[in-house]
Structure 1
Amino acid sequence: MSPPQKWTLLLALYFSQGLPFGFFTQALPVLLREDGVSLSRIGLSGLLFLPWALKWLWAPWVDAHGLRKHWIIPLQLATILTAVALAAVDGSPEQKLFWLKIAIVLCALFAATQDVPSDALAVHLLQPGERGLGNAVQVGGYRLGMVLGGGALMIVLDQLGWAAAFLAMAAFLGLSLWPVLRFPEQRLLPPLERRAPGANPLPAIWARLRLPGMAALLCWLVAYKFGDSMASAMVKPYLVDAGWSKTEIGLWAGIAGSGGGLLGALLGGLAADRLGRRRALLYCGLAQTAAVALYALHAYGPGGEWLLKSAVTLEHVLGGMATVALFTLMMDASDPQHAGSDYTLQACAIVIATGLAGWVGGLLGDALGYGALFALATALSGAGCGLLLWALARRRVPTRLVAQMRS
């Protein structure tokens, strides 16, 4: 399979996840804050995305049964049908918000399950030398989906209404299925090479977790993203409280911000391939921390509207760089024979940490205000970067990762 074909497939796979996730994560905090909901309760709304944190329970089973595209296609069709069903909802804002929450849980379940075979395909298709750019394409596709979902569809929601937004979502998801339908998985990935037969989820995950250094690696991954996630979860309420409309949030946080994330994904991929994993994680982690610090600076008074707009854009650019560098490391740590399970285990640890960070951020925001919240998030982001780099230098990570990593 030629590299351009790989990039097209990966772009489509992760675009289809970023589109609904981008819309839901942008729209829900905004709608809740406009309704007067507290920051701590908004932080708890991350529980609606719980399937992303629990997918490790069924990942080994998905990893062991059927062609991967035969999982991806029906799951994406289910997401499309959910979007169409939401477009048909008519009623009061409270009723729409209720059905939106139900749809978020369903779409999170479909997308989280779809992510397992998608990640496994990526691990198998990408050679070690392609993983930096490959992860840039994955994150870039995801960010492109967030540009449309969290940006364009937010503007459509504000200007054209509920039904138009969800019908547009369904149409974009349908178009992104085409590369998956054309992918000749049976020819490129023979069954015996793809996966071993049968897997009992809990023992399989426990076996992966007991690998030397794996549990420690999960802790370092969580530390690297916790501070950034704590700040990011409260950005949308902060923008609402700053007087931004849904159209402004869609334009700056959705289109400009997530569009900047595409650039960040490319830069992060190039850094991982050309600088090596450790230096890429260091430089990108420090850049991520600097982006969070801009919110603290704005919250404490200096600067005005343009500082906030710069912070929103740079958060996505610099955070995208750090995300790609981290995902490349996670792929290096994944055994190709257990690709879906290994990568899913690491991704779930980050998702759980992201949800916890959002809740903690909401509590701190309610108790201490935005300034203290963003300042603490900055400190935690910098400390987490240092912890991961220390662990890599001391080889407190899986043996497979030590062998593959280059300084």
Structure 2
Amino acid sequence: MKRYLPYWSYYAHQGMVSALTMQGVVGYFRHAGADLAQLSWLSLAMLPWVGKFLWAPWCERHARPLRGNRYLGSLVALQLCMAAVIACIGLLPPARAAGAIVAALTLLSLLSASHGIYANGIAICTTDARSRPLANVAQVGGSYLGIPLGSFVFLAITEHAGWRYGFAAIAALSLLLAIPPLLIRQPMQATPAGSARPRLRWRDLRGIGPALALTAVYLVAMRGLMALQTVLLVDAGLGLSALGEVVTIYSTVASGVGIALGGWAMRRFGPWRCVLPVMLSFPLIAGVLAAGYPRFGVREWTLAFGAVNVAAAIGFVTLYNVLMGLTRPHQPASDYALFQSTDMAVAMLMSMAVLRVSDVTGYRPVLALLAALAVASLWPAIRLCRRLARPAAAAPPPAVHEPSLETSHG
């Protein structure tokens, strides 16, 4: 199990950076009095995650090797750069430099998105069909473990020590999370001579078009619910420390339950048999939140969003396992970046839409719309799953991309 520790480290760092932008900084400014329409602009800081497929082939072609891993040198260099940017953001005054903060967070997101390209390449190329479910658990679990670092740790330190020290703490954690990948080797074979070089060719996208469509529709409603989580809990009366504690519980206990259930179901039934049953829970959850809105207090909303996090974690584990099996052998990191760009485009658009519409109409109509959207997305998802699962079931198991499944220490 020690061989999976670097995966946890890669994705905990990504979860921490994303949570810092979308929960930590959002929670700070909402508590300071910013309205929902203003906060919606922070979603633009995630634009690099939407567009990272554009430069993913370049990143894959120019990856720098380290310790027998052709992606690791670039990943570590990017992580060091992110630690420096995080520390610099803490030097900006939040009351007078909102534009500069958004720009710096966008730069941080650009570095994190590129970091994710290499992390995904390592995860795909150092696992096979047998070991991939546990790598997916580490991928989703690590992301969720990073959330309290970017939200609870940041908010708690910021509330007691100030903005600058909150960012300094996150920068220090960024450096610490670079240690496990340097200690535990994850060797992989070099790219075979004469193999096709990673390229972004628009004519080639038709082959993975159904996978892109499934990525877009699968979690669309849950992305909207998760965008409302922080602001709705603040409006329900939670302070910064209490909000950080609740988010920590979501990202550890609730999401841990979802990750464990998703990992068990995939190993027991296979990912394709789990996709649609998991998706059926999404309209049910959104409908309960819309119906219960007039009667819910802080306690009820805390429990309700706990259920949202359990269902979302199961959905992420299932979807990511399916997508890893749909990448092309000569450019796995680039294809997976395209899938993630699609997912993040949906997340960013849903975040901006639900916050701006909620600012005008209130939360209940938006919750009802999300429930209807979850129902409407079932039909295309069923058709896409049938189309994608047939060749997946007929194809032989994917080749192993690594010389050994054992890790060694340097």
Asked if these proteins are the same fold (TM beyond 0.5), I'd say: yes
1:76 maps to 2:79: yes
Equivalent position SS for 2:395: helix
Equivalent position SS for 2:21: helix
- Partner AA of 1:209 in structure 2: L
What is the CA–CA distance in structure 2 between the aligned matches of 1:6 and 1:370, rounded to whole Å?
Answer: 44
For 1:287, which of 281, 301, 304 is the aligned residue?
281
Provide, for residues 258-302 of structure 1, a one-character-per-residue CA deviation record: whole Å limited to 9, x for no partner: 112133122212212212223311232233444434432342x12
For 2:352, which of 356, 359, 363 is the aligned residue?
359
C-alpha displacement at 1:57, in angstroms? Answer: 0.8
Is this contact kept in 2: 1:134–1:269, CA < 8 A? Answer: no
**5+ long unaligned stretches in structure 1:** none
Provide, for residues 299-358 of structure 1, a one-character-per-residue CA deviation record: whole Å limited to 9, x for no partner: 2x1243221110122221221111111111111111232110111111111111111112
C-alpha displacement at 1:398, in angstroms? Answer: 8.8
1:151 corresponds to:
152
Query: Residues 372 and 191 from structure 1, CA distance in 2 versus in 1: closer, same or farther, beyond 3 angstroms?
Result: same
C-alpha displacement at 1:97, in angstroms? Answer: 3.5
- Partner AA of 2:81 in structure 1: A
**5+ long unaligned stretches in structure 2:** 66-70, 398-410
TM value normalised by structure 1: 0.88
1:88 maps to 2:85: no
C-alpha displacement at 1:369, in angstroms? Answer: 1.9
1:163 corresponds to:
164
Equivalent position SS for 1:243: coil
- Partner AA of 1:94 in structure 2: A
Query: Residues 117 and 193 from structure 1, CA distance in 2 versus in 1: closer, same or farther, beyond 3 angstroms?
Result: farther
Equivalent position SS for 2:228: helix
Structural mapping, 1:294-373, within 5 Å: 294-299=288-293, 301-373=294-366
Is this contact kept in 2: 1:123–1:336, CA < 8 A? Answer: no
TM value normalised by structure 2: 0.88
- Partner AA of 1:380 in structure 2: L
Provide, for residues 240-275 of structure 1, a one-character-per-residue CA deviation record: whole Å limited to 9, x for no partner: 2222211121111x2111112133122212212212
2:402 corresponds to:
none
- Partner AA of 1:76 in structure 2: Q
Query: Residues 296 and 404 from structure 1, CA distance in 2 versus in 1: closer, same or farther, beyond 3 angstroms?
Result: farther
28-37 vs 74-83, greater mean Cα deviation: 28-37
What is the CA–CA distance in structure 2 between the aligned matches of 1:192 and 1:34, rounded to whole Å?
Answer: 50
Query: Residues 400 and 209 from structure 1, CA distance in 2 versus in 1: closer, same or farther, beyond 3 angstroms?
Result: farther
Is this contact kept in 2: 1:14–1:141, CA < 8 A? Answer: yes
What is the CA–CA distance in structure 2 between the aligned matches of 1:51 and 1:194, rounded to whole Å?
Answer: 32
What is the CA–CA distance in structure 1 between the aligned matches of 2:120 and 2:390, rounded to whole Å?
Answer: 19
Equivalent position SS for 1:95: coil
C-alpha displacement at 1:142, in angstroms? Answer: 0.9
Is this contact kept in 1: 2:283–2:374, CA < 8 A? Answer: yes
Equivalent position SS for 2:377: helix
Structural mapping, 1:260-275, within 5 Å: 260-275=254-269
Structural mapping, 1:129-140, within 5 Å: 129-140=130-141
2:15 corresponds to:
18
Is this contact kept in 2: 1:239–1:249, CA < 8 A? Answer: yes
What is the CA–CA distance in structure 1 between the aligned matches of 2:50 and 2:61, rounded to whole Å?
Answer: 20
What is the CA–CA distance in structure 1 between the aligned matches of 2:19 and 2:193, rounded to whole Å?
Answer: 31
What is the CA–CA distance in structure 1 between the aligned matches of 2:152 and 2:395, rounded to whole Å?
Answer: 41
C-alpha displacement at 1:195, in angstroms? Answer: 9.5
Q: Percent identity?
A: 24
Is this contact kept in 2: 1:13–1:118, CA < 8 A? Answer: yes
Is this contact kept in 1: 2:159–2:240, CA < 8 A? Answer: yes
1:189 corresponds to:
188
Is this contact kept in 1: 2:236–2:298, CA < 8 A? Answer: no
C-alpha displacement at 1:372, in angstroms? Answer: 1.1
For 1:244, which of 238, 248, 259 is the aligned residue?
238
1:103 corresponds to:
104
372-381 vs 8-17, greater mean Cα deviation: 372-381
C-alpha displacement at 1:96, in angstroms? Answer: 5.0
Provide, for residues 210-258 of structure 1, a one-character-per-residue CA deviation record: whole Å limited to 9, x for no partner: 32xx223212221111111122212222222222211121111x21111
Is this contact kept in 2: 1:72–1:118, CA < 8 A? Answer: yes
1:378 maps to 2:375: no
Is this contact kept in 2: 1:281–1:385, CA < 8 A? Answer: no
1:276 maps to 2:270: yes
Is this contact kept in 2: 1:228–1:378, CA < 8 A? Answer: no
Query: Residues 401 and 244 from structure 1, CA distance in 2 versus in 1: closer, same or farther, beyond 3 angstroms?
Result: farther
Is this contact kept in 2: 1:76–1:114, CA < 8 A? Answer: yes
Is this contact kept in 1: 2:282–2:311, CA < 8 A? Answer: yes
2:48 corresponds to:
51
Q: Give the number of the structure whose residues are more often helix, by fraction.
A: 1
Q: CA RMSD in A?
A: 2.4
- Partner AA of 1:164 in structure 2: Y
Query: Residues 349 and 198 from structure 1, CA distance in 2 versus in 1: closer, same or farther, beyond 3 angstroms?
Result: same
What is the CA–CA distance in structure 1 between the aligned matches of 2:147 and 2:89, rounded to whole Å?
Answer: 19
Equivalent position SS for 1:210: helix
2:24 corresponds to:
27
Is this contact kept in 2: 1:63–1:195, CA < 8 A? Answer: no
